[in-house]
Amino acid sequence: MSTGVNPFQMAQQQFDEVADQLQLSDNIRKILRWPLREFHFQIPVQMDDGTMQVFRGYRVQHNDARGPAKGGIRFHPAETVDTVRALATWMTWKCAVADIPLGGGKGGVILDPSSLSDSEKQRVCRGWVDQMWRNIGPRLDVPAPDVGTTAQMMGWMMDEYSKLIGQYTPGVITGKPLGGGGSKGRTEATGFGVIVTVREALKRLGIDPKTCTAALHGFGNVSQYAAQNFINMLGGKVVAVSCWDWHEKTAYTFSANEGLDPEFLKSITDQYGTIDKEKAKKAGIKIEDGNAWLKKDVDILIPAAIEGVITKETAPMISSKVKVLAEGANGPCTPDADAYFKKTNIYVIPDFLCNSGGVICSYFEGVQNDMNYYWELEEVVRNLDKKMTSAFASVHDMSIDRKVYTRNAAYMVAIDRVVRAMQLRGWI
């Protein structure tokens, strides 16, 4: 599943371009180009067969000028420290562009979660907390689920932390299960937010969403809810979904010109986002190679899986019909791909704006944990829509005012807010 792209170099390159445009001082650049702190550690785990395995774990805290670090924990066999660094950096910008009082963090463990039993996964989760509990907490660093991790895993991690410090502390982790300190709406928040930004982009472009088709990359949590909301909220049609097959270690595209039913696809998808090919075939769904989603004649492309999938080589495969590219994943498009989009005038909704619905709802979850009072779904959705709409407007307006690419505009909004917080705290 590795793309051969170094995501941290990509994150730094994106930052450097905007830092030049903003004429940031060398001192500010030195602080923001690299994480403030990193943790590298081993997690020894007794497996079900009695053997011992040692997994490599990470936590990176990029910047906490605006508040506690915030970011998910990935379980992935191709995890690298540079991936974690990049994601932590993007989380800083994501929290800032969403204007929530949190900083950027990210964690990871190098493992294939599909190869572990539930009891083994629980021991890995508790082992991760055993290594990190002194350096996480509601006022320090608040992890959450990401690729390869689930709400249940967050529940285990919260429980381990609570045991270690001797008091029930739901606010140490977000993305927890409902009934275990979780928030209504959190599971679907990222995919919902993606479609809010698509809605706002189509408004600015004067395009009726009911006439639009979409193709998505990935069929995990983000893509599933993005597909559902693209149909239910906007009245559009999803014609293709590409996903990674964990069993065959390759990707496939599932397509239907008349439109796919995301609810049906969810019913035949495992917890790691792999769609059952045989059941899809029986339902009349066409199965194509993994890159076929990218070449579809659709109006909207939504890469919602991993980083670095749209590159200088793959960007020219995109149909000339595509009007909007919404980055549901973190870092799915390389700087070379950005150069292509600038030439073709595809409206790109940058990742740390587009997929910020998850961290906004995680912030809401932390607020509810602090209050010990939990909101109804309608209140969560209303507040999330309001935050996403406001964040989109700030980036779009910056893009128009400064006559810059949308990704650069998002960086400008975010960097300005982080630098301002650093100034107010006397860091610079």
**Active site residue ranges:** 106
Helix residue ranges, H only, 5-80: 7-22, 26-33
Q: What are phi and psi of 300, to 5 degrees?
A: -125, 130
User: Using an 8 Å Cβ cutoff, are 50 and 412 in contact?
Assistant: no
The amino acid at residue 331 is: G
CA distance 69 to 102: 6
Residue 370, number of CB atoms within 10 A of its CB: 11
CA distance 311 to 153: 33
- In which element (H, E) is residue 43 found? strand 37-46
What is the number of H-type helices and E-type strands within the chain? 14, 12
CA distance 326 to 357: 13
User: Using an 8 Å Cβ cutoff, are 185 and 151 in contact?
Assistant: no
Whole-number Cα distances in Å, 156 to 21, 159, 172, 323, 350: 45, 5, 12, 42, 33
